[in-house]
Chain A
């Protein structure tokens, strides 16, 4: 045996060629895509860790690794903004879940006059985003603020209320579909056992729909977290700003000197979202597929 039998070698070669043509080329392409997807984020991390924290000279990755920018955030209103964002987003998410679930339960379980009409109306209303009517929102809040100062311009409560106004339209259908998959026999059995509608709702149906509650809550939180136009109009005082408004101000005013602050803030603010998103990927895609928000 001096050489391999030539047919085998030819087969190996052709196999490799086929591998290259069908699978192999995908790796270099993947490398390009990975670079495209990741380099802005890697750059942002490097800028966050840069000692000087200015845009000029940030082109060398990881030249210095220091936490200066992170500690400098303490001298700004950054943590106030984080708190505001969590408060507004959390309240909007909780409200969206509670109101959306209650409405979906009613539509799914009760047969009442005007049910179909209300469902159709909701379907139509949800197509017209609140953000386009921001002028009217602004004028409404000015009027409301004169009567009830807590609901006026520059109130976080007012912003939460505005977000909740869009909650029913955006979430009812998503939840309605899910509620319909819970067999109504469960309700009936409980009713025969003497449970009231409230008991059925809180103790039987709600535990069964936890997945959709999580999806809606998360989507509502992300929507509030990412909203800029309404937050910018409603919240006028610095200490009331959410992250979106505050960080926009950093970058639009003196971008070069605030760059390190922005990068550090972006790292802090995006990490929880990133972690949450990646761990709940499946749910979010499911939610997106059945009635998208972002994209």
Chain B
């Protein structure tokens, strides 16, 4: 399909690119750019090349291109090392390993002579591997776990969370005057314990310091070795407030002694958890009731009488998520409807917009119609308007109370376009038709103009009528070039999250359903609602399982598209 393939290439208009500008651009995107090069061809060869020597032999080693490459690689190494140090500080070993490998590979590739193709492929491959291949694979992994609310993170994190959740203020704990202190970005507490100022951080238990100054209320105002954070700053900085409220300073090396916490940043008290963790037996014991919680294979701590702690960790659960999608009564019904509508929407929207675009292309691909250029420009206006704005614009226009559609065309009746399941579906098709028929108009016009005229002439001479010419010649020939696009368009609309979410937000909700799905949700918007990435209850496992189903559908469609393309080309 080459409706109007850009083909004019004028080597004169685009003179040699500014050599200094290109490396800058490469740095800006974080990609290493191969900038290796010898001396410029016009440059005088260094060294002792005799006058009779061919200048191809006058290569004398690295020139300015090498310097540029060196500079870029220095910047990349600096950034890489900074990222590695940051990962080390955070203790993210997986990220650290990946960063080290990527950086080492980059250095090897750009300083070795044997990796020529990789010099050009590497930057793109890195991004492809991390942000596409990995995410696809990771989706596959998450689909087989119960990752989600109540099962976030590892078992150790679940233990920590359980200990914190069971934390209470120790009943007879006194209130200590407290100040927030800081050093090198690390914050800690300084408390006044009966005239002795003690300082500690999350890692370091409380320890007395000498030479501290307290004010009349007993609050430490000067602590040697630490900066006391002024109260005003604490009030102004919400991020710092959060840190302070989260901070636990152990009273001693013994975890059972509890830790100092503060609610408001001026007094502290001892808090301790009613649960204790036994790493050897892998059990949590409630000190008050004596209940013992032990881990089960679903990623929960459960007591012998069936009580479950809220905090859990994620574990592989096999095909549970898939089974749940198809059999769980809360999900199966709505998801079936969502799937049906996804296909219905994808097929209908391609058919309607392709149909309208093709008809318009046939009507106005006619030299006798005047003002073709103007008409064409107006026809494609909706396509040039950004899609998400169109959806929002129509959402306002279709508002049942104040929308202009009701005012202008329905005599002010309050037709609830977006609130009725069938009307909402119709509206989505209608708006998407408005959005995408210009695309098909453009494509069909291009395809029509590329049709061979001699075949049409031969058909006319053979006595074929206009209808016959169209159905037997134009349409089959058009399909060769447009069928792949139609399939691609179907695949696109199959995942057209924007129009659904912006126009109806999936609503109206299924009546009586316990899941947050609605009549116009398609699979991807259903995944969005279930996943809980925007807040609410998260179920990454089920959402990923549905993503896998979408991938399978897309894979089948793509395979069909390939075969179809080949079949049609044989016509």
Contact = CB atoms under 8 A, between A and B. Distances in A.
Interface of A: 22-23, 26-27, 29-30, 33-34, 36-38, 40-41, 43-44, 47, 55-59, 91, 94-95, 98-100, 102-103, 105-106, 110, 112, 115, 118, 124-125, 127-140, 143-144, 146-149, 151, 161-162, 164-169, 172, 182, 192-199, 201-203, 206-212, 214-215, 222, 225-229, 232-233, 244, 247-248, 251-252, 255-256, 259, 262-263, 266, 269-270, 273-274, 277-278, 281-283, 285-286, 288-295
10 contacts: A22-B368, A134-B528, A143-B94, A148-B87, A199-B65, A203-B16, A207-B11, A207-B17, A248-B388, A259-B396
Given A133-B547, A148-B86, 10 more contacts: A30-B369, A33-B379, A125-B136, A207-B15, A248-B501, A255-B395, A263-B393, A270-B385, A274-B381, A288-B485
Given A136-B135, A207-B17, A226 B388 contact: yes
Contacts of B368: 22-23
A40 B125 contact: no
10 interchain residue pairs of minimum CB distance = A165-B131, A147-B92, A211-B6, A99-B124, A106-B120, A147-B95, A147-B87, A95-B29, A277-B384, A168-B124
A182 B139 CA distance: 40
B41 interface: yes
Interface in B399-430: 399, 401-404, 407-408
A194 B41 contact: yes
B277 to A, nearest CB: 23
Given A196-B37, A266-B393, A103 B124 contact: yes
Q: Is the interface of B mostly helix, strand, loop or mixed?
A: helix
Contacts, number: 386
A161 B364 contact: no
Given A198-B35, A289-B2, A110 B443 contact: no
B394 interface: yes
B326 interface: no
Contacts of B135: 130, 133, 136-137, 140, 165
A118 B264 CA distance: 58
Please indicate which of the listed interface residues A23, A33, A36, A212 has the most CB atoms of chain B within 10 Å of its own CB: A33
Interface string B336-378: 0000000000000000010000001001101011000001011
A26 B547 contact: no
B397 A34 contact: no
B185 to A, nearest CB: 12
Interface stretch (B456-464, B490-498, B508-516): B490-498
Contacts of A43: 393, 397, 404
A29 B381 CA distance: 17
B47 to A, nearest CB: 14
Given A102-B121, A247-B392, A289-B485, A252 B498 contact: no
Contacts of A197: 34, 36, 116
A166 B440 CA distance: 25
B81 to A, nearest CB: 12
Nearest to B532: A135
B536 to A, nearest CB: 14
Nearest to A171: B124
Please indicate which of the listed interface residues B14, B28, B117, B363 has the most CB atoms of chain A within 10 Å of its own CB: B117
Please indicate which of the listed interface residues A132, A202, A251 has the most CB atoms of chain B within 10 Å of its own CB: A132
Contacts of B547: 132-133, 135-136
Interface of B: 1-9, 11, 14-17, 19, 22, 25-26, 28-31, 33-38, 40-41, 55-56, 58-59, 65, 83, 86-87, 90, 92, 94-96, 116-117, 119-121, 123-125, 127-128, 130-136, 138-139, 142, 147, 353, 360, 363-364, 366, 368-369, 375, 377-390, 392-397, 399, 401-404, 407-408, 434, 436, 438-440, 442-443, 446, 481, 485, 488-489, 491-492, 495, 497-498, 501-502, 505, 524, 527-528, 531, 533-534, 540, 543-544, 547, 550-551, 554-555, 558
B125 A106 contact: no
Contact of B117 (A112, A244, A288): A112
Contact of A295 (B29, B116, B130, B485): B485
B396 A55 contact: yes
A136 B505 contact: no
Nearest to B16: A203
Please indicate which of the listed interface residues B15, B124, B369, B386 has the most CB atoms of chain A within 10 Å of its own CB: B124
Contacts of B498: 226-229, 244
B34 to A, nearest CB: 5
B396 A99 contact: no
Contacts of B440: 295
B366 A110 contact: no
Given A162-B131, A195-B41, A135 B3 contact: no
Contacts of B377: 278
A248 B29 contact: no
B540 A139 contact: yes
Contacts of B139: 132-133, 135-136
B127 A161 contact: yes
Nearest to B407: A59
B133 A125 contact: yes
A166 B131 contact: yes
B436 to A, nearest CB: 5
Given A98-B26, A207-B16, A125 B95 contact: no
B3 to A, nearest CB: 5
Contact of B558 (A127, A147, A199, A281): A127
A174 to B, nearest CB: 11
Given A147-B96, A201-B34, A202-B22, A102 B124 contact: yes
A33 B360 contact: yes
A57 B402 CA distance: 7
B41 A273 contact: no
Contact of B25 (A94, A147, A166): A94
A269 B554 contact: no
A218 B337 CA distance: 37
A112 B555 CA distance: 28
A251 B135 CA distance: 31
Given A207-B15, A266-B393, A286 B4 contact: yes
B403 to A, nearest CB: 7
A269 to B, nearest CB: 7
B83 A34 contact: no
Contacts of B33: 98, 102
Contacts of B14: 207, 210
Given A94-B28, A95-B31, A132-B551, A40 B485 contact: no
Given A212-B6, A247-B392, A168 B128 contact: yes
Given A99-B123, A133-B139, A262-B392, A232 B534 contact: yes
B497 A164 contact: no
Contacts of A256: 399, 402
Given A193-B56, A207-B15, A167 B395 contact: no
